[in-house]
């Protein structure tokens, strides 16, 4: 049974080796319920590998993943998702020939324990339909409900992926490079979408766009060469000389770290 007083997500010595390559090495951190927690680091820092270990798409060499006090390390990705740990991906996982509404409805119906059938009209499932419209409205896409996912802009697809994830009723939502390929306007809309998510959903994101990171995150974890370098507030991360040296390899980070806090 989940512990309501526990951290939303806790990593304990999480490690992934590929032979002699140490992709992630002994990473421990705690993500508090309801927070927006970012993971940053240069290419090769181990961010995507860490997310794959958390989500369960990669098995850990050692260490533990604990969700609301429950050890889920041995669980499959599907079982973790069923337990509330849900991940969106760098690349679209949508059904592009299906409408936006159908994509969300599939997730909602799975969460309700029934199987999707393309032969059964959506109108016969009013509860699924109502919830799907509600989710599309919450991310600003209700007016695109009948549009095939493949016809949506890149930014709209990323918004739709969040609606699909929300359809599974996550308690912890992992956003993997959500702003990749977005225009500035799309990124701004996506930022507001995440800010507007209910606080009973803990959000953890990996992202290269530091403006987005420092505009969203209340806590930031920095990875360097697969290891945990620092977790702190955005101000603490911006001020850290260790981060400046190891993460950026630069003496002057004034143009790289946004100065305005959330």
CA–CA separation, 107 vs 154, rounded Å?
20
pTM exceeding the 0.75 threshold for the entire prediction? yes
Q: What is the CA radius of gyration of the chain?
A: 19
H-state helical runs in the chain: 47-55, 77-82, 100-111, 126-138, 154-167, 184-195, 210-216, 234-239, 241-243
At the fourth CATH level, the homologous superfamily of domain 1-84+170-262 is: P-loop containing nucleotide triphosphate hydrolases (3.40.50.300)
Tokens of 46: 């181990």
Q: Quote the CA–CA distance of 163 and 141 in Å, as a whole number.
A: 9
Instruction: Retrieve residue 98's tokens.
Output: 């299906």
Residue whose C-alpha is closest to residue 215's, from 155, 256, 258, 164 = 258
What are the sequence ranges of the domains in the chain?
A: 1-84+170-262, 93-169
Q: Return the structure tokens found at 250.
A: 């630069």
Smallest CA-to-CA distance from 202 within 222, 217, 213 is with: 217
* Closest residue by Cα to residue 88 from 2, 203, 188: 203
Alpha carbons 81 and 101: distance in angstroms, whole number: 21
Residue with tokens 């955005």: 234
Q: What is the pLDDT along the chain (262 residues), one digit of tens a residue?
A: 555 568 999 999 999 999 999 999 999 999 999 999 999 998 889 999 999 999 999 999 999 999 999 999 999 999 999 999 999 876 667 999 999 999 999 889 877 665 555 545 555 567 888 999 999 999 999 999 999 999 999 999 999 999 999 999 999 999 999 998 899 999 999 999 999 999 999 999 999 898 999 999 999 999 999 999 999 999 999 899 888 887 656 545 555 566 654 4
| Residue 171 DSSP SS3 | coil
Residue 68's region, left for phi above 0, alpha for psi from -120 to 50, else beta, is left
């Amino acid at each position: 049974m989940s512990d309501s007083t526990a951290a939303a997500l806790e990593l304990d010595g999480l490690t992934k080796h590929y032979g002699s390559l140490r992709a992630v090495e002994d990473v421990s951190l705690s993500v508090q319920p309801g927070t927006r927690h970012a993971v940053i680091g240069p290419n090769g820092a181990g961010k995507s590998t860490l997310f794959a270990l958390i989500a369960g798409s990669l098995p850990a060499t050692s260490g533990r993943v604990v969700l609301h006090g429950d050890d889920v390390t041995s669980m499959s990705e599907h079982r973790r998702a069923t337990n509330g740990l849900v991940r969106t991906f760098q690349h679209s996982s949508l059904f592009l020939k299906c409408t936006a509404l159908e994509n969300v409805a599939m997730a909602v119906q799975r969460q309700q324990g029934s199987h999707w059938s393309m032969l059964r009209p959506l109108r016969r499932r009013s509860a699924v339909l109502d919830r799907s419209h509600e989710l599309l409205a919450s991310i600003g896409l209700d007016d695109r409900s009948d549009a095939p996912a493949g016809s949506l802009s890149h930014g709209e697809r990323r918004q739709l992926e969040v609606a699909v994830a929300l359809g599974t009723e996550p308690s912890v939502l992992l956003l993997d490079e959500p702003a990749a390929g977005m225009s500035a306007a799309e990124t701004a809309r996506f930022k507001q979408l995440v800010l507007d998510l209910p606080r009973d959903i803990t959000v953890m994101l990996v992202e290269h766009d530091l403006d987005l990171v420092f505009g969203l995150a209340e806590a930031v974890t920095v990875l360097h060469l697969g290891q945990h370098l620092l977790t702190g507030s955005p101000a603490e991360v911006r001020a850290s000389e260790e981060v400046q040296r190891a993460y950026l390899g630069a003496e002057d980070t004034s143009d790289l770290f946004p100065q305005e806090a959330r």
